[in-house]
A and B are shown apart, each in its own frame.
Chain A
Amino acid sequence: MVPVTYYLTLSALMFTLGIVGVVIRRNAIVVFMCIELMLNAVNLSFVALSRLVGNLDGQIAVFFVMVVAAAEAAVGLAIIISLFRSAKSVETSDANQLNG
């Protein structure tokens, strides 16, 4: 059986890629997808640790993370559409109307 630390290391790598993506990308939708990447990395470590301790609670946590991710997708994409209507762009650097 694959040791659980392999899964955790993989999850850390995936989380790091998500962080780097949020920092370097400017398209708001890609930033949003990088957040999904981080959520999934955490989900993976939840499931791996649930297997390690022999308890289903970690999988329940993943279920609720998925619910919140779905809600976040709906609201986040609505915000991006409304940003596009007002700024004619989805670049995060164009969302600067509060910057006097």
Chain B
Amino acid sequence: MTALFFLVALVLLISAVGVVASRNAIHSALFLVGNLMSVAVMFAMLNAHFLAVVQVIVYAGAIMVLVLFVLMLLNIKLENQPALGKLVIGLAGLGGLAFLWMMVPLLQRSFAAIPQSAVDVQGSVREVGKLLYTQYVFPFEAASLLIMAAVVGAVMLAKRRYRA
């Protein structure tokens, strides 16, 4: 299990670096698909089976197809402006390292002390669905309104403007 964790973590991190570092946006998108797939494996290892499946279907299946569709529709070549200066990239990297330096010891200290719960949660479709349709039924319905608004908004934004 631990070996599998480190293997998947390695794939996850390499693909995340690929998203940030590749010059070609399409390569970035394909790296992101790999990253989302490895997050799905992580979900499965954490017993969140429903979320693992939804991650593959919604993220890797729907959202990334939309992103790739737009990338190919707009036919964007490599970034055509000169790259940002080494100084900016170095500063961004330093900022990231500072964030990690703050965050990682904090996480270790705050959560290592909490004992692992005796209940072994199973995020099966049955359990998550039961919770979604009882305790979280109002947020669930609100989510459908949100998606409705997003679809209408997307069509409004992306349609061509006709002359009056």
A positions within 8 Å CB-CB of B: 1-10, 12-14, 16-21, 23-27, 29-30, 32-34, 36-37, 40, 43-44, 47-57, 59-60, 62-64, 66-75, 77-82, 84-85, 89-91, 93
Residue-by-residue, is B36-76 near A (CB-CB < 8 Å gives 1, otherwise 0)?
Answer: 10010011011110110011001100110011001101101
Interface SS of chain A: helix
B contact residues around A8 at 8 Å (CB): 107, 111
Pair A19/B131 contact, Cβ less than 8 Å: no
**Hey, which chain B residues are within 8 Å of A37, CB to CB?**
16, 19-20, 32, 35
Partner of A48, one of B46, B100, B118, B158: B46
CB pair B79–A26 under 8 Å, yes or no, is yes
Inter-subunit contact B158/A10 (CB<8 Å) = no
* Chain B neighbourhood of A66, CB < 8 A: 51, 54-55, 58-59
Chain B interface extent, by class:
35 or more
Q: Report yes or no: B66 in contact with A51, Cβ–Cβ below 8 A.
A: no
B67 and A82 form a contact (CB under 8 A): no
Contact check, A30 vs B28: say whether CB atoms are below 8 A apart: yes
Assembly CA distance A20 to B84 (angstroms): 13
In the complex, what residues of A have CB within 8 A of residue B112's CB? 3, 5
Asked if A29 and B71 sit within 8 Å, CB to CB, the answer is: yes
Indicate which residue in B43, B97, B127, B157 contacts A47 across the interface (CB closer than 8 Å). B43
> Across the interface, do B158 and A27 meet the contact criterion of CB distance under 8 Å?
no
Residues of B within 8 A of A72 (CB): 150
